[in-house]
Amino acid sequence: MNAYVQRVLEDLGKRYGDQPEFVQAATEILTTLSPVVDKHPEYEKAGLLERYVEPERIVIFRVPWLDDRNQVQVNRGYRVQFNSAIGPYKGGLRLHPSVNLSIIKFLGLEQILKNSLTGLPIGGGKGGSDFDPKGRSDAEVMRFCQSFMTELYRHIGKDVDVPAGDIGVGGREIGYLYGQYKRITGLYEGVLTGKGLSYGGSLARKEATGYGLCYFIQAMMKRNGLTPEGMTAVISGSGNVAIYAAEKITSMGARVVAMSDSNGYVYDPAGIRLDVVKDIKEVHRGRIREYAERVQGSEYHEGFRGIWTIPCQIALPCSTQNEINEESARTLVRNGVKVVGEGANMPSTLEATKVFQDAKVLFGPAKAANAGGVATSALEMSQNSLRLAWTFQEVDERLHTIMTDIFDKVAKAAEEYAESGDYVAGANIAGFLKVADAMMAQGVV
C-alpha cells in the first residue's frame, strides 16, 4: 500500500476508532486508491487525502416533538456536508433507530464518489435521525419532520445542499419536510428531491435506484457474456430499492424467489408476486411475513440473514450496511452465485467482498450500482430549475444511459489502474479522480 495512504488510514483509525462504519468505508476506498496516489505525488503535498476524509461541516441538533399521547420525545438530527468540490452537497436523509455519526459519515463519504460517478455536478452529503417511523401515526411522523426541518432549513438550499430519501424516508416524509421548508423560508424551490409529482417531483425517481441497479448489472453481465434471462434472483429488503429492483430484474427475464425485511424473509419458488409485496409495503406499511399468509406455496422464515442461504445466480442486497458477512458470502458462492449487485450502501463487509472477488463473482459495488437514485435526483433538480417536467420514458432513458456510462467508466478505471474486472477499485478510482482534480484546482480549502 502507498505510504501516504497508509499514514492517513492509521491516523483515521486512531482519531475515529469509535466510528467503525466510517473507518470501514474509508479503508475500502483509500486502499484501492493506492495506485492513483502513486501516480500523483502532488496529492500528499496538498494534504488532499487528509482533507478528503474530513467533512467540510457537520451539524448535529436536537429534534423535540410531541407524540400522540402528548408526551415529549427527543431525537438527534444530523447533516454531514462532506464535500462540495464538484457541486452542492447532495445525499439522502435516513430515519432509523441505528443512526449515529459513524453511519452518517460512512454514507456521506460513499456519496462523494457515487455522485461524482454520475457525471452530474453534485457534491456529497448525508443526514438523518435516530427517529424510528415504524408504528408511528402519520401525525407523529409529520410533527417529527416539521421539528427536524425547523433546524435543518438554515443549512440547506437549492444551490447549497439538497437532501433526498433513504431508509425510512419516502414520499410521505419528503412531503412533510418540504411543506415545512416552504412555510419557514417562503421559497418554492427544489431544495429536496423525491418530491411528489404534484409539487415538483420527477417521474421515475421512485423507481430509479432499483431500475438503475439492474441497468448496471445488465451492462456488467453483458461485458462478461451473461444475461439475467432465466436466472434466479434473491433480493433482500422490501423497501423502495428492493421493490423496483425486483420489478426491473423480472422484466429482464430473471425470477425473484425471495425478499425480506428486518424481521425475516419469504421464499416463493414460483416467483415473488410483486403486486402482493407492494400492497403489503407501499399501501399498508405491513410486514413481509404477511406475504406467506396471502400466497400459497410460499414460506416465511424469521431472521433477515437466512435469505442468503437460498440458492441463486443473482444476489441483490437492498436493505442495509453489512447485511452480507463473510459466512453469508461463502454460502452464496457455494450455492453458485454469479452476480452480486449492491443496491444498499456497503451491504457487504470487507471480508465478504473479498470472498466474492476471490471467487470471481461479478461484483457491482454500491457506489456505482446504486447511483441511479441520486442521478435521477439530479435530473429532478434540473427539471425544477427549468420549470419543466420530463416524461417517464425520457427520465428512464437518461437513467439507462447514465448507468451504462458509469459501468464503462468503472470498467475502464479498473483496467487502467487495478485489475480488469475489479469494479470495486474501478468505482473508487473513477469517482475519486474528478473530485481530486477539482480539489487540487480550488486550492487548500
Phi, psi of 59 (to 5 degrees): -115, 125
Pairwise CA distance, residues 238 & 244, whole Å: 9
Cell of 112: 462523494
Catalytic residue (choose from 90, 105, 114, 126): 126
Contact between residue 141 and residue 395 where contact means Cβ atoms under 8 Å apart: no
Comparing CB distances to ligand NDP, the nearer of 51 and 289 is 289
Shortest separation between residue 238's beta carbon and ligand NDP, angstroms: 4
Pairwise CA distance, residues 272 & 374, whole Å: 27
Q: What is the CA radius of gyration of the chain?
A: 21
Comparing CB distances to ligand NDP, the nearer of 260 and 384 is 260
Shortest separation between residue 195's beta carbon and ligand NDP, angstroms: 13
Shortest separation between residue 262's beta carbon and ligand NDP, angstroms: 3
Pairwise CA distance, residues 391 & 182, whole Å: 26
Comparing CB distances to ligand NDP, the nearer of 348 and 370 is 370
> Smallest Cα–Cα separation from 291: which of 306, 279, 303?
279
Comparing CB distances to ligand NDP, the nearer of 93 and 433 is 93
Shortest separation between residue 96's beta carbon and ligand NDP, angstroms: 6
Sequence-distant (≥ 6) Cβ neighbours of residue 349 within 8 angstroms: 24, 322, 324, 325, 326
Does residue 354 have an active-site annotation?
no
Contact between residue 375 and residue 402 where contact means Cβ atoms under 8 Å apart: yes
Residues engaged in binding ligand NDP (CB under 6 A): 96, 165-168, 170, 209, 237-242, 261-263, 304, 318-320, 343-345, 370, 373
Shortest separation between residue 41's beta carbon and ligand NDP, angstroms: 35
Pairwise CA distance, residues 108 & 101, whole Å: 10
Comparing CB distances to ligand NDP, the nearer of 40 and 281 is 281
Comparing CB distances to ligand NDP, the nearer of 23 and 368 is 368
> Smallest Cα–Cα separation from 257: which of 324, 193, 361, 335?
335
Shortest separation between residue 66's beta carbon and ligand NDP, angstroms: 24
Shortest separation between residue 409's beta carbon and ligand NDP, angstroms: 18
Full DSSP string of 333-351? HHTT--EEE--SSS-B-HH
Nearest residue to ligand NDP, scored by beta-carbon proximity: 239
Contact between residue 338 and residue 314 where contact means Cβ atoms under 8 Å apart: yes
Cell of 438: 477539482
Comparing CB distances to ligand NDP, the nearer of 49 and 245 is 245
Distances (CA, A) of 248 to 2, 118, 211, 327, 416: 41, 20, 6, 28, 31
Full DSSP string of 356-403? HHHTT-EEE-HHHHTTHHHHHHHHHHHHHHHT----HHHHHHHHHHHH
Comparing CB distances to ligand NDP, the nearer of 77 and 91 is 91
Full DSSP string of 131-200? ---TT--HHHHHHHHHHHHHHHGGG-BTTTEEEE-BTTB-HHHHHHHHHHHHHHH---S--SSS--GGGT
Q: HSE of 348 in the Cβ direction (CA atoms, 13 Å)?
A: 29
How far is Cα of residue 391 from the mean position of the Cα atoms in its chain?
24
Shortest separation between residue 110's beta carbon and ligand NDP, angstroms: 9
Which active-site residues does the annotation give? 126
